[in-house]
Structure 1
Amino acid sequence: MAYDPQVVDAKIVSDNKKNGLYEMVVVLKDRTQCRLFFEKDPVTGVGQVTNLNRLMKEPCPICRKDYLCNCLDRYKQTIAEQAQAYIK
C-alpha cells in the first residue's frame, strides 16, 4: 500500500522578506506534523520547497520509527503543493 499524504492544515510560522525564505508547519491527515522550508524565486516570486522535517510528535507513518528518518522526503513536493493551497 502506497502512502498518500493529505494536508489538513498549514500555517506560515516565519517569513523573511529580505532574503525570500519562509517556513510553514503542516498537519497531515494521519496527525503527522512537518516543517517545510521554502525559498522564493527572485524573478517569479514563487516559493520552491527546499527541505522537509518531520516533527517528532507521532511516529513516522511510513516506517513507524519514533526517531529521525527521511521517509517523508519522497513526498516533499506533494506535501508542499497541498500546503501552499491552504495559505492562499
Structure 2
Amino acid sequence: MKFDLDTDATSEAFCDDIAQEMMRLFGVSREEAVGRINREWKDKPLIGDVLIIYHETANYWAQCIYHEEDVMWWIDQHLRVKPYP
C-alpha cells in the first residue's frame, strides 16, 4: 500500500519511518500502518522543509496516530486504540 498523501521525498521517507515504527510497536501490517497515516493526514500537504511533523520523532507520531486522541500514551496504562479502518 502506498501513501495517498501530497508528499515530497523527505516527508514520504518520514511517513515510511512512522509506518515502520507502528509495525514494530503494535504488530500491525504495513497496509494498516499506511492506512492509518493516510487517514490521519489526508488533508494536510506534507511538502517542504519546515513542517510541524519534523518537530517530533517517528515514534511520537506512530503513538499519536495509533492511539485515541485523549490518551496520554507516554504515561497512561489504559491505552485506547483508534478503530481501524
TM-score category of the 2 structures, normalised to the smaller one: under 0.3
Whichever structure has more helix as a proportion of its residues is: 2
Which has the higher Rg, Structure 1 or Structure 2?
1
Q: Which structure carries more relative contact order (alpha carbon 8 Å, separation 6+)?
A: 2
Whichever structure has more strand as a proportion of its residues is: 1
Relative to the length of structure 1, the TM-score reads 0.25
